[in-house]
Amino acid sequence: MAGNKGCSDLERQLAAVVDMWLKMPVGEEEAAEAARYYREEVFPLTCRLFVERERKKMAGKQIYGLILTVGTSPEPLILSLSACQPQKALFLYTEDTERYLDDIINYVQLSPSRWDKRLVQKSDPRTIYQVVKEIWEQWGRRSDIAVDITGGTKSMTGGLALVGAFLGFELLYVDNERYLKEQRRPYPGTECLKVLPNPYTVFGALKEKNALELLRRQEFHGAGQILTELVEKVPDPRRFQYLLALARAYEAWDGLNLKEACDQLGRAAAIAEKLHWGEATDETIFLREQQKRVGHLAELLPAKPRESTLPLLQDREAVETLVFTLYHNARRRAAQGKWDAASFFLYRLLEIMEQRRLALYGIDTARPDYSLLPGEGLLDKFNAVRQQIKFPRLEELPSPIALTDGYFLLEALADPLRLSAVPTGKGVGIHWGRFCSQIENRNYSILAHGFIFVSEEQYLNFKEMVEQILDLFCTVEGIDGEEAREKTWFLTREDVH
């Protein structure tokens, strides 16, 4: 109660001097006396009332540094400094406003160690950005910094507001409820300190930009972390819920967790449809198609390690999705400079194509039943292919079937997907020596059976060969390769609306 009574007394004292001040003439001859009375009698009481009232707004907000633009009215800056009581103050002034600094510093009684000043160009906000960034670095990149955009020109305050919002500072402004045009001052006692909402924080603009950039770079886990925070903080989280579901879907798909990818793609599509009032857009249609593809593949994946893969491999649609999932995984790893990992996915892609073709004969490469294969003398044909590169003759067909032997077998079967039928740009046919050399290089990788680092050049040579075989595979299987590539690629920043 004592505090309230004191405040009421202060308000009464201020009202009395304000009444006296308002009765003073404001003509040119009397203006100096009115200004002196305001400065000596009115403003000290105004400042005391302002501090008592506005300091409560800053409760719990310890401000280490306050950055202020200096205009031709020192009073708002004095009010702000008095209420915030920062440990450090930086004044951004122009040649026209430097003379007001002494009034501000003397009134607030700032010691020399607590304040600094920088000359800026009033019409060039770039100088403000440079100065603020410099002082932010000097202050140790602290987060407990505020900017006061009350004084100075519009370009100065605009520049300070932009950089302050960008760096996450508190945005302050000394406002008033009533302005006296004749006296050209706020009505004493109506001044208030506004803590402006940071639009970048409220609407998540900067974090959204970072999240979209991570999505563009296919770094889904990092994007998901940012989007999770935005969903919890912004007033309308629906767009970020959509982007979060998208990031989680692609993170799961990239990690070959296809069931989770299917669920999250469905969630992303459902949110996007609500955002568009139920209207189907190119984006939602694309996501539903991806959900269907991934879901179909997920249903056919073996549930146990030794379960037959034939149902999956004999399903052309599932194989198409799996082949291009592996292909894009290789692309993403290559974009990150992870040549070993990219080569690993290309190697697995070669295996899937070979296993698919053999599955059409009923052959499970893990436990092959050769009685299902047509023709006589298959072992001799198989060995004839091996002997082209001086591989030793086998007494029986291999079980299980490794990758290289699988392609030997396809050649012996005269399957449409055989290396001798692959268009290479230099004619038809991939030389067996080249094929085995590329496989051997990959096998010595640290992600396979050795300790050799795969170089970019080695990866690109391997990729060229695999893509030649992939193109033939698409032709043989009746797959539109370009369409399949597009429909299994992840939405990038430019695609997301």
Q: Sketch out the chain's domains with CATH numbers.
A: 2-202 (3.40.50.10770), 205-299 (1.25.40), 323-487 (no CATH)
Handedness of CA 377, 379, 382, 383 (dihedral sign): negative
- Measured at the alpha carbon of residue 444, what is the angle toward residues 442 and 447, in degrees to the nearest 5? 75
Nearest-angstrom CA–CA distance, 341 and 445 = 9
Straight-line distance from the first to the last Cα atom of the chain, in angstroms, rounded to the nearest whole number? 56
Nearest-angstrom CA–CA distance, 428 and 479 = 20
Residues 224 and 214: beta-carbon distance below 8 Å: no
Q: Which of 214, 304, 302, 199 is nearest to 250 (CA)?
A: 214
pLDDT values of the chain reduced to their tens digit, one per residue, 497 residues: 344 444 568 888 999 998 998 888 877 777 888 888 989 998 999 899 999 888 877 766 788 999 998 988 899 999 999 999 999 999 999 898 999 999 999 999 999 999 999 998 877 778 888 899 999 999 999 889 999 988 887 888 888 888 888 888 889 999 888 988 888 889 998 889 888 887 766 667 778 888 888 998 889 999 999 999 889 877 788 989 999 999 999 999 999 999 999 999 999 999 999 988 778 899 999 999 999 999 999 999 998 888 999 999 999 999 999 999 999 999 999 999 999 999 999 999 999 999 999 999 999 999 999 999 987 899 999 999 999 999 999 999 999 999 999 999 999 999 999 999 999 988 899 999 999 888 877 665 655 555 567 889 999 999 999 999 999 999 999 999 999 999 999 986 455 54
